[in-house]
Amino acid sequence: MSLTSPLRNPDTRNAAVMTRRAVWLLMLSLLMPGSAQILAGHRRFGRVLVALWLTLVGSALVAVALYFAARGWFLGFVTSAFGLVIIQALALVAAAIWFIAAFDTVRLVRFVAVDARRRGWLAALAVFALVAPAGVASYAAVIASTSNSTLGAVFADTIAVDPIDGKYTFMLLGGDAGKSRIGLRPDSISFVSVDAVTGQVAIVGIPRNLYNAPFSDGSPMLDVWPDGFNCGDECLVSYIYPWAEEHPELYPNAIAEGSTPGIEATRDAVEGIVGVPVQFYVIIDMNGFKALIDALGGVDINVTEKVDVCTNGQPITNTFEVGVQHMDGVTALRYARSRCNITDFDRMRHQRQIQEAVLRQIKPATVIAEFQHLASASREMIQTDVPQSMVGTFVDLGGKARTLDLIKVELAPPVIDNLYVDYPLIRQLVHDAMYPPVAED
């Protein structure tokens, strides 16, 4: 008797044989859709399903090879609008193949002929074969569709740009817009440099209460503030954003180009402070940041000194004790923004801890499990002019950066006085952070 005889022409009167046959067919359908049909059903139909399935498997193997051989290009493709449409289509085809093959396999099983005592778990296996693989593939299609929508909503539809002297540069703003506030005032300002080869990140914290911020050459702000933003207590660097929003005539093309006068004026100030061109801006809204942390399941922060939470002049409402604390979105925001008995420079350090924790503690399994929430939080949280075509490049560099220590520069006392600012010293510190000396052999 050939191997296929009990599968194609079984003795339907033998319940034990029919039960073993059912297990084999269902498992084959799970592992290779169409193989059950070749062995026990319509062979031509089975061959079509197997051919489609092998094509998908071959595509997956090519994708794996590309990931290792040309990771940057591969990540750029799978984060592009075209690439995500292709992934969505392939996932839907996989879901359809799995479901159709499993549905037809259930017909081939002939449940009425199997051992009555085994029908319960065989039925469960059949349901699993019908739902699980097709469901996973369908969810992959949903992720691809949501990714396409999210990336298109968050990132700019502009062309990729080359690094400057081997570095990509960003202005990172932490916005404090909210229901009780009018407009946005950056609560934190950072300059970020990313090495285009190694992924090494240098992050420079710019105090929100920095005085007399200069502007880069060619900035429209120089026509109004030729000696820097120097009108006293009303002219801290964080107030440049709302001031420029009230004077949109200085940046008439900003909104049409996907920016705002406030963003562009602040970018000009950051360039003047650090002495380096800023290629991209990223604004992170604090409320969206809270949603992101919740979607990630919280973050662990090492509190090195006791931090009280209160509104200035009001009683203490909460205290963060020394030690590792697990924080949800609300708690992390309290820790990052508390002004209770601490300086702005302490707040900068706390905010930097939260930012680094999010970067370090994101786990792929969490991203997959909470993808819909993360996508929603990203739309609420981020505004940027980073081109979508460069997302893959930065994802690749971000993976490299996770293995390296962040280079951090805080422009705070005693090194930098925020009132009488030594800007040449700042520019030297920034240059040293971006281009650290290479150790000699």
Domain borders along the chain are 5-154, 167-296+362-434
As given in the structure block, the two tokens for residue 66 are: 């590309």
**How distant is the alpha carbon of residue 283 from its chain centre?**
14
Comparing C-alpha atoms, which of 115, 137, 139, 121 is closest to residue 26? Answer: 121
Q: What is the pLDDT of residue 42?
A: 86
User: Above 70 in pLDDT, residue 207?
Assistant: yes
Say whether 97 sits in a helix, a strand or coil.
helix
Say whether 2 sits in a helix, a strand or coil.
coil
Comparing C-alpha atoms, which of 135, 133, 140 is closest to residue 33? Answer: 133
pLDDT in tens, 67-104: 899 888 888 888 888 999 999 999 999 999 999 999 99
- Topology of the domain covering 167-296+362-434: Aminopeptidase (3.40.630)
Q: What is the pLDDT of residue 182?
A: 40
Beta bridge partners of 302: 324
- How far, in Å, CA of 314 to CA of 26, rounded? 67
- Residue 183 region by backbone torsions, left for phi larger than 0, else alpha for psi between -120 and 50, else beta: left
Q: What is the dihedral of CA 411, 415, 419, 425, to 10 degrees?
A: -80
pLDDT in tens, 334-345: 888 787 877 777
Split at pLDDT 50, 70, 90, the class of 187 is: confident
Check: CB of residue 350 under 8 Å from CB of residue 336.
Answer: yes
Q: Are strands 318-320 and 307-309 parallel, antiparallel or unpaired?
A: antiparallel
pLDDT in tens, 218-271: 999 999 999 999 988 788 998 999 999 999 999 999 999 889 999 999 999 999
- How far, in Å, CA of 417 to CA of 426, rounded? 11
As given in the structure block, the two tokens for residue 29 are: 């359908």
Q: What is the pLDDT of residue 78?
A: 87
> Which long-range contacts (C-beta less than 8 Å, at least 24 apart) are formed by 338-343?
338/307, 338/308, 338/309, 338/310, 339/312, 340/307, 340/308, 340/309, 340/310, 340/311, 340/312, 340/316, 341/308, 341/310, 342/307
Looking at the chain, the whole-number percentage of residues with pLDDT higher than 70 is 90
